[in-house]
Amino acid sequence: IYKNRRQHQRRPPSPPGLPIIGNLHQIGELPHQSLWRLSKKYGPVMLLKLGKVPTVIVSSSETARQALKIHDLHCCSRPSSAGPRDLSYNYLDIAFSPYDDYWKEVRKLAVQELFSTKQVHSIQPIKEEEVKKLIASIAESASLKTPVNLNKTFLALTVSVICRAGFGVSFEGTVLNSDNFNKLVREALEMLGSFPASDFIPYVGWIIDWFTGLQGRREKSVQDLDAFYEQMIDLHKQEKRQGSEDFVDLLLKLEKEEAVIGNDKLTRNHIKAILMNVLLAGIDTSAITMTWAMAELARNPRVMKKVQSEIRNHMGNRSTITLDDTDQFHYLKMVIKETWRLHPTTPILLPREVMSEFEINGYTIPVKTRVHVNVWAIGRDPETWKDPEVFLPERFIDSDIDAKGQHFELLPFGGGRRICPGIYMGTTMVEFGLANMLYHFDWDLPEGMVVGDIDIEEAPGLTVNKKNELLLVPVKY
Ligand code: HEM
């Protein structure tokens, strides 16, 4: 009977692989791009063997709907993997925890306490203050006519907002200067997004990781982050802060009360793992989106002018943009969606693991298979998008497609049970940051540069940033 059943199962098409490593060598530095190219040949449901691990890559909106909606419950766990394991203190976080009671409870706690609409509104004054500081510093560059590095600028903004809002401490005065902090975040994201040989090749994989230096980098990344959390928690304990309880307060209180989440007593490691998610999921994604948006606007002066006119006409003589204002910036929202279509921050989402067998397009996907949804490929699929390579926010006029996980053409936050719980916080950050940059300044190219010089090369990692710095010269409006 077993043999019969197997004979009836259809496996998805696979590119030929090598002995032992399978298709591992075909992943490359930017997996979303190599997988996109392979999917053009092997189709929207493709099976790779990464060493010993069967991995299905889903690359169309219809197959993404099947995986994330119809079969969500069959494949919403996370696989074990060395990078996430070490950085999450053995899966004590939200993003990399397997699908179990602990994950359900910790996610619920985070959604209620940190990522709620109420919380987003309560941190608006912090955002306003940090944006004001930023405008002042950019105005200085404007008066000197010097270019601003927008990758760094946006990261500095989200770092200060998240650190103040999430941890109640301002970033200044911690162990790291902002350059080192940025390096720490990038390195950690690269460790989370890497495909270490030890995940895929039994017994000897770790030797390869040791040899290539990946293991050493990972250990250092864990140590550096740990020191950062320790310092943040210490600062927190010393400081006499006013105002409402923040996330660290709440977690420390739960630790003291010996609270139980899932089957575990909450320990210091749980706290650090959760902070890791807030740091790595909350800061980088919003900053990257703003950088890509500005890069595309600089490459498309018509769109830049149009979005600035929308904001300036709406604002009249008022100078402070509010959350209610950003709600009215419909063209800006289309610009952001178009940015997410071409530059989703997490292009192959986080890996999922199959918990019970199911089928996509008639292909059987067995238990323990890894599943990646290539949202980057979906954003460039000519079956879904007309002229996909063109940056055209107008394509969203008269379209009901939003980015909230119900439209499988556009999945910057993923979908299903594992959808990003920070959608509202992330979206409002991006809208608010961009609206201010576009309202208060015009942006010229540095001397000697032409529009065609602005590239869209990508840097590797779990989240994909613009590789080369985006330098633009601000002119005060
Ligand atoms: C523009 C901003 C953001 C983008 C584009 C983004 C994108 C994503 C994506 C693609 C995922 C993976 C979903 C999947 O595997 O299906 C994710 C997960 C997650 N994000 Fe975000 N995110 C953003 C902002 C935030 C913020 C502000 C926070 C919190 C402060 C946050 C916290 C998380 C967490 C905790 C997870 C893991 C969810 C789980 O596995 O249950 N994100 N995000």
Ligand 1: distance of its center to the CA of 297 in Å? 25
pLDDT at position 171 is 57
Q: Is the CB of 158 under 6 A from ligand 1?
A: no
Of residues 428, 431, 408, 405, the one with CA closest to residue 417: 405
Atom of ligand 1 nearest to the CA of 352: 15
Dihedral of alpha carbons 95, 181, 166, 121, sign = negative
Tell whether residue 420 is among the known ligand binding residues.
Answer: yes
Q: Is the CB of 247 under 6 A from ligand 1?
A: no
Q: How far is CA 31 from CA 12, 21, 27, 38, 383, in A?
A: 19, 16, 5, 10, 22
Ligand 1: distance of its center to the CA of 428 in Å? 14
pLDDT at position 234 is 83
Per domain, the residue ranges of the chain are 2-476
pLDDT at position 232 is 80
Ligand 1: distance of its center to the CA of 275 in Å? 13
Dihedral of alpha carbons 455, 188, 149, 170, sign = positive
Atom 9 (ligand 1) nearest CA: 413
Give rounded-to-5 percent helix, strand, coil for the chain.
Answer: 55, 10, 35
Ligand 1: distance of its center to the CA of 108 in Å? 14
Helix/strand/coil (H/E/C) assignment for every residue in 181-192: HHHHHHHHHHHH
* Other Cβ atoms closer than 10 A to 333: 20
Atom 14 (ligand 1) nearest CA: 414
Q: Is the CB of 278 under 6 A from ligand 1?
A: yes
Atom of ligand 1 nearest to the CA of 68: 16
Long-range contacts of 13-16, Cβ-Cβ distance < 8 Å, separation of 24 or more: 13/42, 13/43, 13/45, 13/46, 13/47, 14/42, 14/46, 14/47, 14/48, 14/49, 15/41, 15/42, 15/46, 15/48
Q: Is the CB of 418 under 6 A from ligand 1?
A: yes
Of residues 359, 346, 267, 305, the one with CA closest to residue 70: 359
Instruction: For 265-296, give one letter per residue: b (16+ CB within 10 A) or e.
Output: ebeebbbbbbbbbbbbbbbbbbbbbbbbbbbb
- At the top level of CATH, which class does the domain 2-476 belong to? mainly alpha
Tokens 């977690």, residue located: 251
pLDDT at position 186 is 82
Q: Is the CB of 350 under 6 A from ligand 1?
A: yes
Output the six-digit token pair for 341: 């279509």
pLDDT at position 279 is 84
Atom 8 (ligand 1) nearest CA: 413
d(CA 449, CA 53): 47
pLDDT at position 9 is 82
Ligand 1: distance of its center to the CA of 279 in Å? 11
Ligand 1: distance of its center to the CA of 95 in Å? 8
Atom 21 (ligand 1) nearest CA: 420
Atom 30 (ligand 1) nearest CA: 282
* Other Cβ atoms closer than 10 A to 419: 18
Q: Hey, which of 276, 285, 353 would you mutate to test ligand 1's pocket, going by the most ligand atoms within 8 Å of its Cβ?
A: 285
* Other Cβ atoms closer than 10 A to 13: 14
Ligand 1: distance of its center to the CA of 419 in Å? 7
Residue type, 153: T
Which ranges constitute the DSSP H helices of 43-96? 61-65, 82-87
Ligand 1: distance of its center to the CA of 421 in Å? 6
User: What does the DSSP assignment read for 191-247?
Assistant: HHH---HHHHSTTTHHHHHHHHTHHHHHHHHHHHHHHHHHHHHHHHHH----SS--H
ipTM: 0.98
pLDDT at position 101 is 93
Torsion of CA 305, 311, 316, 320, to 10 degrees: -130
Q: pLDDT averaged over consecutive 10-residue blocks of the chain (477 residues)?
A: 63 95 92 97 97 96 98 97 94 96 92 83 89 95 96 90 74 62 84 85 86 92 91 75 68 86 88 90 93 98 98 96 95 98 97 97 97 98 97 97 97 98 95 98 96 94 92 97
The structure's pTM equals: 0.94
Burial class (CB in 10 A: 0-12, 13-18, 19+), 57: buried
Residue 473, H or E segment: strand 471-476
pLDDT at position 175 is 53
Atom of ligand 1 nearest to the CA of 283: 27
**By three-state DSSP, how is residue 53 classified?**
strand
272: left (phi over 0), alpha (psi -120 to 50) or beta: alpha
Q: Hey, which of 420, 423, 463, 464 would you mutate to test ligand 1's pocket, going by the most ligand atoms within 8 Å of its Cβ?
A: 420
Atom 38 (ligand 1) nearest CA: 95
Residue 352, H or E segment: strand 352-353
d(CA 308, CA 289): 18
Q: Is the CB of 290 under 6 A from ligand 1?
A: no
Residue type, 407: H
Q: Is the CB of 79 under 6 A from ligand 1?
A: no
Q: Are 354 and 366 in contact (CB under 8 A)?
A: yes
pLDDT at position 192 is 86
